[in-house]
Amino acid sequence: MKRLCVVLALLSSGAVASDKRSGVEYVSPETRALQADDFANPGMLWVGGGEALWNEAVGQTKKSCASCHQDAKQTMKGVAARYPVFDEVRKRPIDLQGRINQCRVRRQKAAAFAFESEALLSLSAYIAHQSRGMPVTPPRDERLWSYIENGKELYFRRIGQIDINCASCHDARAGQRLSGNLIPEAHPTGYPIYRLEWQSAGSLQRRMRGCMTGVRAEPYAYGSPEMINLELYLMNRAAGLPIETPAVRP
Amino acid sequence: MAAPRIMVNVPKTAARGEIVEIKTLIAHKMETGHRMGLNGQRIPRDIINRFECTYNGALVFAADLFPAVSANPFIAFTTVAVASGTLKFRWVDDHGKVSTTSAKITVT
């Protein structure tokens, strides 16, 4: 019962499951149509590229992802819906991109991909795409609680010269406009997303760094514990919403 | 990444005389040539400037592209299904790099 209370307390900051609205509901009909059509959705270029990488033998071991994980369509189903998870090696949470690089370095004996590189985004998109339509289901792992709590604290911490927190916009003013754009509820269900503004695919961390720069704060570094904890909190907050990867956003 | 990332969607089958929609998408940065990089240096223009589609050797659709076209250009068009055969697609960029792909259609 105590555990349940903690989980409920963590989730109660956002809206309850049925009230949550994915970012796709805040975009124009044209953008929504772009996301819905797999032959027009530019994010599918990254998914396609990721499929090629999945089967490419690399590193000293000359092994591909498929050598161990076989067909991603079967084995990677649901993975993006539960990440970030607790990593036994690092003894702290790890997100999907971190896991891909960890696999490359430890298992394939290859160099890690750079953050926001085409390769890392492509593999992430390909893996996350296998969970499309599945509800976000964060693991009930008590080792994660303190990190989720920290992510929540960061979400509500006022930062930058503008001195606001994530909730100032994404909780209090979701659905209203910020310089012409509708403010969504910040549910990260479609990452990596294809963002029209970027003219490219990008990760959740890139998106969050954009917000941090926007409020004139020093953004957290890619892959930093703060970023992972924020991802962790946001995915817990988005629990129940379907994965959309690759999503298209303005 | 090795191969250029291209997606084309052509209906596998069509009735003779039917109007079919063809969708194409190619990964390209489409650098306009108007942007300044570090130290105010102009980033050189690099866009796909020509797209062509041939249907059994006959040109059925072509487009000249200009710097206002966004990255990863998506081009959709229609053609009349006249005979079974191959549609070939060809993109040429400012460096003269040619990307091609093809798709088969069966007309009944």
Please say if the pLDDT value at position A12 is more than 60: no
Please say if the pLDDT value at position A4 is more than 50: no
pLDDT digits (tens, 9 = 90+) for B8-56: 999 999 999 999 999 999 999 999 999 998 888 999 999 999 999 999 9
Hey, is the C-beta of B30 within 8 angstroms of any chain A C-beta?
yes
pLDDT at position A136 is 96
A45 HSE (CA, 13 A, CB side)? 27
Structure-token pair, residue A135: 């509800």
Q: Looking at residues A37-56, what average pLDDT do you find?
A: 94
Nearest to A49 among B5, B23, B25 (CB): B5
CB contact under 8 Å between A119 and B7, yes or no, is no
pLDDT at position B88 is 97
pLDDT at position B39 is 86
pLDDT digits (tens, 9 = 90+) for A182-231: 999 999 999 999 999 999 999 999 999 999 999 999 999 999 999 999 99
Q: Looking at residues A15-22, what average pLDDT do you find?
A: 70
Q: Looking at residues B47-66, what average pLDDT do you find?
A: 96
pLDDT at position A19 is 85
Please say if the pLDDT value at position A125 is more than 90: yes
pLDDT at position B38 is 85
Residue numbers of A annotated as active site: 211
- When mean pLDDT is compared across A73-82, A116-125, B34-43, the lowest value belongs to B34-43
C-alpha to C-alpha distance for A127 and A123, rounded to whole angstroms? 6
Hey, is the C-beta of B74 within 8 angstroms of any chain A C-beta?
yes
Please say if the pLDDT value at position A9 is more than 50: no
Q: At residue B74, what is the residue type?
A: F
Q: Looking at residues A21-33, what average pLDDT do you find?
A: 92
Shortest alpha-carbon distance between residue B77 and chain A (Å): 12
CB contact under 8 Å between B27 and A49, yes or no, is yes
Which among A7-16, A19-28, A134-143 has the top mean pLDDT? A134-143
What Rg, from alpha-carbon coordinates, does chain A have? 18
pLDDT at position B4 is 60
pLDDT at position B1 is 43
Angle, to 10 degrees, between the axis of helix A2-11 and the axis of helix A225-237?
A: 100
CB contact under 8 Å between A199 and B30, yes or no, is yes
Percent composition of chain B: helix, strand, coil (DSSP 3-state, to 5): 5, 55, 45
Percent of chain B exceeding pLDDT 70 equals 96
B27-36 long-range contacts, Cβ below 8 Å, gap at least 24?
A: B27/A45, B27/A49, B27/B72, B28/B71, B28/B72, B28/B73, B28/B91, B28/B93, B29/A199, B29/B71, B30/A199, B30/B67, B30/B69, B30/B70, B30/B71, B30/B72, B30/B73, B32/B67, B32/B68, B33/B67, B34/B67
Please say if the pLDDT value at position A6 is more than 60: no
Q: Give the mean pLDDT of chain A.
A: 91
Q: What ipTM does this complex have?
A: 0.88
Query: Model confidence at A18, in pLDDT bands (50, 70, 90)?
Result: low
Sequence-ordered list of residues with C-beta below 8 angstroms from that of A12, at least 6 positions apart, any chain: none
Residue of A nearest to B70 (CA): A199
Q: Looking at residues A138-161, what average pLDDT do you find?
A: 96
pLDDT at position A180 is 84
Residues in A touching B27 (Cβ below 8 Å): 45, 49
Residue of A nearest to B74 (CA): A40
Structural domains in chain B plus CATH codes: 6-107 (2.60.40.10)
Sequence-ordered list of residues with C-beta below 8 angstroms from that of A125, at least 6 positions apart, any chain: A43, A46, A47, A49, A50, A192, A201, A245, A246
C-alpha to C-alpha distance for A99 and B44, rounded to whole angstroms? 37
pLDDT at position A8 is 45
